[in-house]
Amino acid sequence: MDIALTLLAYVLAIVGIAGCIIPVIPGVVLSYAALLCAYFTSYATISTASLWIWLAATIAVTAADFYLPAWMTRRFGGSRAGAIGATVGVFAGFFLFAPAGIVLGPFFGAVLGELLHDRNDAGKALTVGFGSFLAFAVGTGAKLVVCICILIRIAADSFGAASDWLSTVF
């Protein structure tokens, strides 16, 4: 059973890292599920306090990723149309122009949304698009950091020699 849980933990963690970039996969949640799989092995050194801390990080990063694009779009002077455009751009970019569309979709979506809202201010639309892109980059970066740290923690738990050293770090 330990081997199955360990393999499942690694698969979920790797899919979780991929899910940080692919918007339809809940990456951080899958990485946390991987941590839970590792926790339930017989050799686990992961404490329940560590599980609660990683759960808090998972919730915080997921919430930030959900609210950050609209907040940053508005912070850079965007309207509701720009925020909606950025959201549509993420999904359209993923399905139509992957992999580059995943990165550029929020930018172009926010710019198009702002131009539909106010055609006379192209400079503002570009600024809002940059804010949307920045929000995507920060959100994705935060998710990647959490998912990679969880993978490292799982590796530390499953590899005995590195476990003592990595357990103190993570």
Q: Dig out the tokens for 35 from the structure.
A: 């941590």
Maximum distance among all alpha carbons in the chain?
64
Q: Dig out the tokens for 10 from the structure.
A: 């690694």
- Low-confidence winner among 36-45, 46-55, 66-75, 132-141 (lowest mean pLDDT): 66-75
Residue 151: predicted pLDDT? 95
Is the pLDDT assigned to residue 73 strictly greater than 60?
A: yes
Is the pLDDT assigned to residue 30 strictly greater than 50?
A: yes
Residue 2: predicted pLDDT? 77
Taking residues 135-146, what's their average pLDDT? 91
Q: Dig out the tokens for 130 from the structure.
A: 């940059």
DSSP helix/strand/coil, 119: coil
Q: Tens digits of per-residue pLDDT, 90-108?
A: 778 878 876 777 778 888 8
Residue 163: predicted pLDDT? 55
By percentage, how much of the chain surpasses pLDDT 90?
Answer: 32
Residue 85: predicted pLDDT? 85
Residue 161: predicted pLDDT? 42
> Does residue 103 or residue 26 have the better pLDDT?
26
Q: Dig out the tokens for 82 from the structure.
A: 């720009």
- Residue pair 146/61 in contact (Cβ under 8 Å)? The answer is yes
Residue 144: predicted pLDDT? 95
- Residue pair 136/69 in contact (Cβ under 8 Å)? The answer is yes
DSSP helix/strand/coil, 159: coil
Rounded to an integer, what distance in angstroms lies between the CA atom of residue 117 and that of residue 123?
A: 13
Is the pLDDT assigned to residue 152 strictly greater than 90?
A: yes
Give every CB contact of residue 91 below 8 A, 6+ residues apart in sequence: 23, 105
- Residue pair 17/146 in contact (Cβ under 8 Å)? The answer is no
> Does residue 2 or residue 4 have the better pLDDT?
4
Residue 50: predicted pLDDT? 93
Residue 162: predicted pLDDT? 47
**What is the CB neighbour count within 10 angstroms for residue 133?**
25
